[in-house]
Structure 1
Amino acid sequence: MEEEITQPWILKFIAMPQSLIDNDPETSLEILCHTLISNEEIASRVFQVCNSISFASLETIYMVLLSGFFATLIGLPLGMFLTITKRDSILPMPRTNRILGVFVNLFRSFPFIVLILVVWPISRFIVGSSIGPNAAIVSLTIAAIPFVARLFENTLDEVNKGLIEATLSMGANKFDIMKMMIAESKPALINTITIMMISIVGYSAMAGAVGGGGLGTLALFEGFNNSRDDILYSCVIMLMIIVQLIQSIGDFITRKLRTKS
């Protein structure tokens, strides 16, 4: 009887570069799973989970980054305005400050799930759909703006008042004062953005309950509803990894800024 010749396992990787050239990363992932796992059924299951998790993770990261960017873009000027319009600040407008503060607190009081339903018409108007990652970005941004605006306000309010007075005495205008406040608060502002981004990760998971996409949708509809514990717990682990990455990057940037200052 002729002895069966088994192909060395390392040769199976030869197909991987070609699949990447063909823009087919799923093929590479499938080859890797079947190479490392001898049981075909388990290898196919692992490939399915990894493929679903990777796509959902990219959707979550996409939502978090864009929502964080737009929330910072709007929340920082709003937080600055809330800071400088206080009674004892450089542009005292106490009545306007109180009215704006009421609106900020009003939006902060909305539970996120309710907020998603409320802003559905806005999402449909802006992105043409009320479901999916793009629609979720609208809801995530609206939810994050009042939250991060208050955090920015508290951060900017900690700038030394003596430093502000000294800058004013040198003939600086209000715009120069605001630039100085931001420059003095850079490390704390990065910490604030880090906190906001981590909160958005949690919001994005909740958005999955109403078809927002990402890991939340995968965990609920594929993991929980179909009793797929492997997918459910993989989503939880991936969310933890994303949060840890955001925190680590934020801490690294903060340390660099504090070292420079």
Structure 2
Amino acid sequence: MLRGYYTAASGMTTQQRRQDTLSNNIANAQTPGFKQDQASIRSFPELLIKRIDSETLPTVRNFTLPIDQSIGSINSGVYVQETIVDHQQGGLLETGMPADMALINGIIPDETGSIFFTVQNANGELRYTRNGNFTVDGEGFLTTNQGYYVLNQAGEPIFTDGQDFTVTSEGQVEVAGAQIPLNIAYAADVNQLIKDDEDLFVPGEEVDEPADARNVAGLSFSVEQHFLEHSNVDQVQTMTEMMQAYRLFETNQKVLQAYDQSMDIAVNQIGRLT
């Protein structure tokens, strides 16, 4: 019976964490370039139950025969192993704003590959994003909404001195007669990227920085100015999964209550009679 407590409790904890993940997806459904998270749920290793006994045969020497009989397996609960980012490209939204840009995947040579804008955070570290909702700061540099510099191919901030510029489909920022190539990065395995608290991506430990997309053989992409990439959150599907998670949490809760009532009877009533 005590094992049932842990099994039901693990189910409740799992659905609560799944609900947190789905809630974060819904909260960012209108965030440009947001990539939804998916909770990966696994069961704990099953336990094999055996009957170990012995039987004495009625012989002259009372021969004892050992018994090792498999009864079956028992599940010990579930847990959220990890959250996996879905990097599927979202739809496009036309905004008409010159600083808004959307990356469009062309030919991607690796099944798990994707392209990103390269930005520099407040600590001078490289980060990667699909959110092209950019702006121009007071000093004339192209930045993200967090104030992080958008970098060119040389790894330097892009100076536009206002919003009077154009961006070609090849990712060239044309300003004052000059062409500045955007730093478009390519990650061959997006599963090696980690999402930070600001929905920017960073390579995991012992993983190389994404490569320059223009130097990757067989890769093609385009950049659309005046457009933004939608998040890839399916709000209807996410709401359905949230209701399912709530029902599963409620079911495990009722199982836990049933175990508690049985334990109460065993301790306070049956135990009193004995």
Q: TM-score range by the shorter chain?
A: under 0.3
Which structure has the higher relative contact order (CA within 8 Å, separation 6+)? 2
The structure with more radius of gyration: 2
Bigger fraction of residues in helix? 1
TM-score, normalising length: structure 1: 0.27
Q: TM-score, normalised by structure 2?
A: 0.26
